[in-house]
C-alpha cells in the first residue's frame, strides 16, 4: 500500500482525471450505442419472422440521433392486424430524404409481432452503422486520452521515483510557489526554488508534486529548506528536530 501511495504521490491530479475521463468516454459510447444495437437485433427478428402488413398514415419523426452531421428519422403509422387497427413505428435508420420519400409514397410494407413493428426490408447492418461509428469514435478518442493520461502519470511518477532514489541533498533558497492548476474548484500550487548542483551550477528547479495553498504557504516559510534534487526537479526533505 505504501508503494502505491508513493507512486502516485507526485502525479498531478489533472493526469488522473484525464485517464479516468478517457475511460468514461469509452463507457459513454458503449452506453449510448449498445442498447440501440441490441434493439435493432430484436427488430431484425421481427422483420424475419413477423406477419406481413401494409402501413398507412405515415408520418416522419426525429430520432434525436445525428452521426457525422447526418440526422436519422423513424416513421409512425397505422396498420391493420386482423380486424383491428393498430399503430406502430419503423426503426430509426432513415435519412430525412429516405423518410420523406416513403411518406410521399403513402404506404410501406411492414412486419409485426406482439413485440413490435418494423419495415419489411429492415437492414440490421445499416441500422447499426451509426452506432458502430459512435463506438469507434468514442473508443478511439477515449483510448487516445487514456494513453496520454497514462504516459503523463508514468512520467510524473518516474520523476518522483528518480528524486527519491537518485536525488542529491542540498540547501535551496528563494523558495516560492505558483498556481499550477485547479481541480474541482481546489487550487494546487507548485514550489519553485534555486540551488547549486553538484557541478557548482546555479539551477532553478520545481517540484513535481502539487500542494494546496495551506501546504505551500507552510513549506515556503523556511527560505533555505533541505531538498533532494534530480536535474531540475526537487522535493522538500522533512528535517528532524535539531537539524
What is the residue whose three cell numbers read 505551500? 216
**Interval 10-38: pLDDT, tens:** 566 778 888 899 999 899 999 989 999 99
Which of 77-91, 94-108, 131-145, 217-231 has the lowest average pLDDT?
A: 217-231
Indicate the DSSP class of residue 70: E
Lowest-confidence pick of 16-20, 50-54, 81-85, 227-231: 227-231
The predicted structure's pLDDT at residue 5:
53
Contact 53, 81 (CB under 8 A): yes
Query: Given this model, what pLDDT does residue 67 score?
Result: 84
- CA 136, chain centre distance (Å): 13
Compute the distance between CA of residue 226 and CA of residue 243 in angstroms, rounded to an integer: 10
pLDDT attached to residue 106: 94
pLDDT of residue 145: 92
The pLDDT value given to residue 86: 95
Q: Which residue has the cell 533555505?
A: 224
Query: What is the per-residue pLDDT across 186-241, written as a single tens digit (0 to 9) for each?
Result: 899 999 998 887 767 788 888 888 889 999 988 888 888 888 887 778 888 887 65
Higher local confidence (pLDDT), 53 or 185: 53
Instruction: Work out the mean pLDDT of the chain and round it to a whole number.
Output: 86
Q: Which three three-digit cell numbers place residue 226?
A: 533541505
Contact 81, 54 (CB under 8 A): no
Nearest to 196 by CA among 220, 174, 165: 174
Read off the pLDDT band of 2 (50, 70, 90): very low
Amino acid at each position: 500500500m505504501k508503494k502505491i501511495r508513493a507512486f502516485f504521490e507526485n502525479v498531478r491530479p489533472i493526469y488522473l482525471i484525464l485517464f479516468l475521463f478517457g475511460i468514461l468516454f469509452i463507457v459513454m459510447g458503449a452506453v449510448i450505442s449498445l442498447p440501440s444495437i441490441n434493439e435493432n437485433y430484436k427488430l431484425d427478428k421481427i422483420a424475419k419472422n413477423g406477419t406481413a402488413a401494409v402501413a398507412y398514415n405515415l408520418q416522419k419523426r426525429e430520432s434525436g440521433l445525428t452521426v457525422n452531421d447526418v440526422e436519422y428519422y423513424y416513421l409512425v403509422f397505422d396498420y391493420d392486424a386482423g380486424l383491428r387497427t393498430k399503430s406502430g413505428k419503423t426503426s430509426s435508420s432513415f435519412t430525412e430524404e429516405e423518410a420523406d420519400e416513403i411518406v410521399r409514397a403513402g404506404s410501406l410494407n411492414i412486419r409485426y409481432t406482439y413485440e413490435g413493428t418494423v419495415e419489411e426490408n429492415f437492414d440490421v447492418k445499416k441500422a447499426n452503422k451509426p452506432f458502430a461509428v459512435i463506438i469507434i469514435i468514442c473508443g478511439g478518442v477515449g483510448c487516445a486520452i487514456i494513453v496520454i493520461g497514462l504516459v503523463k502519470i508514468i512520467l510524473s511518477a518516474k520523476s518522483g521515483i528518480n528524486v527519491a532514489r537518485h536525488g542529491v541533498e542540498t540547501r535551496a533558497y528563494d523558495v516560492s510557489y505558483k498556481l499550477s492548476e485547479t481541480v474541482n474548484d481546489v487550487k494546487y500550487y507548485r514550489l519553485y526554488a534555486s540551488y547549486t548542483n553538484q557541478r557548482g551550477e546555479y539551477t532553478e528547479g520545481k517540484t513535481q508534486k502539487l500542494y494546496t495553498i495551506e501546504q505551500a504557504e507552510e513549506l515556503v516559510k523556511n527560505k533555505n529548506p533541505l531538498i533532494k534534487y534530480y536535474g531540475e526537479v526537487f522535493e522538500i526533505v522533512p528535517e528532524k528536530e535539531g537539524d
